[in-house]
Amino acid sequence: MKKYLVIGNPIEHSLSPKLHNYWFEKNNIDANYDRKKIDKSEIQEIITEIRENKLDGINVTVPFKTDVIPFLDTLSKESQITRSVNTIYKQDKKLIGHNTDIKGFELSLKETQFNLENKTIFILGAGGVVPSIIYALEKLGTSKIIVSNRTKQKTENLKKYFSNISVVDWGDQPEFDMIINATSLGLNKEDNIDLNFKNINKKKLFYDVIYNPKETNFLRAGKNLGCQVSNGKMMFIYQALEAFKIWHKVEPEINEELKKLLDL
Ligand code: ATR
């Protein structure tokens, strides 16, 4: 039986095991997917288990997506540019790190049918997932990406890798076509982002990377303005789907039964 793991801290709420184990059953794959809470000091040991064939693949989540990099042999182009690895596998005796968050974000955007060409995107946050979001947005032909983060220094770091982005102070609200909440504000139901969202027309897209709760105050504000809204549910599912495709060479199905199972 093949064995897979998602590592992170915290990890209790990860829905990845449910999702992958559902797909194993549907596709008659003899495998198991588990979750493991680890400390940074345990990363090397866990990754060695893939080298020794005790494990067949690892998903990496917050806060270790960059920390795992020194223990891998090769990075995909996507992981190199974003300094972020969420999927690890072995190929020709080499441990490879890849980033499926980019494709996950991209495919979730496709589902919104929002036309991003020549659009201005305003990103709130500069944490672990933001390089993946910027990478995908640049590929999709957006014309301007503006980032705002409470700790401004972090946006300066982002600029080293993505020189075309603009930065505004936390609390400032520039003109935009699409706004993305990539902060952790909203994980608690009562969290509010201190922007007034006045003078915003209905043609905007409000996108929240958070999928639990399903509707953050940020998304509710967008909805109340009559704007299109999307939470991070499909990004989560698609990043898993891309990892599944790499590991098993099978494209699993996303259906209503699955969404019900995940209760997303
Ligand atoms: P990390 O910053 O370790 O990568 P993350 O979960 O990927 O963690 O990112 C959390 C994001 O939410 C950051 O952009 C963070 O802003 P800071 O860089 O200033 O910490 C943002 N965030 C978290 N709590 C916030 C708050 N109360 N107000 C504004 N932004 C907040």
Expressed in angstroms and rounded, the spacing between residue 125 Cα and the centre of ligand 1 is: 6
Question: What is the rounded CA–CA span in Å between residue 177 and residue 202?
Answer: 10
User: Of 142, 139, 122, 150, which Cα lies nearest the Cα of 208?
Assistant: 122
Report the 10 Å Cβ neighbour count for 231. 24
Amino acid 100: pLDDT: 98
- What residues are in contact with ligand 1 under a 6 Å CB criterion? 62-63, 125-129, 149-151, 154, 183-185
Question: What is the rounded CA–CA span in Å between residue 208 and residue 257?
Answer: 23
Average of pLDDT values for 196-202?
Answer: 85
Q: Are 31 and 244 in contact (CB under 8 A)?
A: no
In ligand 1, the atom with minimum distance to the C-alpha of 130 is 7
Amino acid 217: pLDDT: 96
- Domain 102-231 in the same topology as domain 2-99+237-262: yes
Q: Which residue, by CA, sits nearest to atom 27 of ligand 1? A: 185
Q: Which residue, by CA, sits nearest to atom 8 of ligand 1? A: 127
Cβ contacts of 9 within 8 Å, gap of 6 or more? 37, 38, 39, 62, 63, 64
In ligand 1, the atom with minimum distance to the C-alpha of 125 is 14
Question: What is the rounded CA–CA span in Å between residue 23 and residue 17?
Answer: 10
Instruction: Select the more confidently predicted residue: 82 or 201.
Output: 82
Report the 10 Å Cβ neighbour count for 143. 12
Question: What is the rounded CA–CA span in Å between residue 263 and residue 260?
Answer: 5
DSSP state, residue 3? E
Q: May I ask the CATH architecture of the domain 2-99+237-262?
A: 3-Layer(aba) Sandwich (3.40)
146-190 pLDDT, tens digit each: 999 999 999 999 999 999 999 999 999 999 999 999 999 999 999
Domain 102-231 bears CATH identifier 3.40.50.720 = yes
Average of pLDDT values for 211-223?
Answer: 95
Expressed in angstroms and rounded, the spacing between residue 140 Cα and the centre of ligand 1 is: 25
Average of pLDDT values for 80-94?
Answer: 97
Amino acid 194: pLDDT: 87
pLDDT bracket for residue 199 (50, 70, 90): confident
Expressed in angstroms and rounded, the spacing between residue 117 Cα and the centre of ligand 1 is: 28
pTM over the 0.85 mark: yes
110-140 pLDDT, tens digit each: 999 999 999 999 999 999 999 999 999 999 9
Domain residue ranges in the chain: 2-99+237-262, 102-231
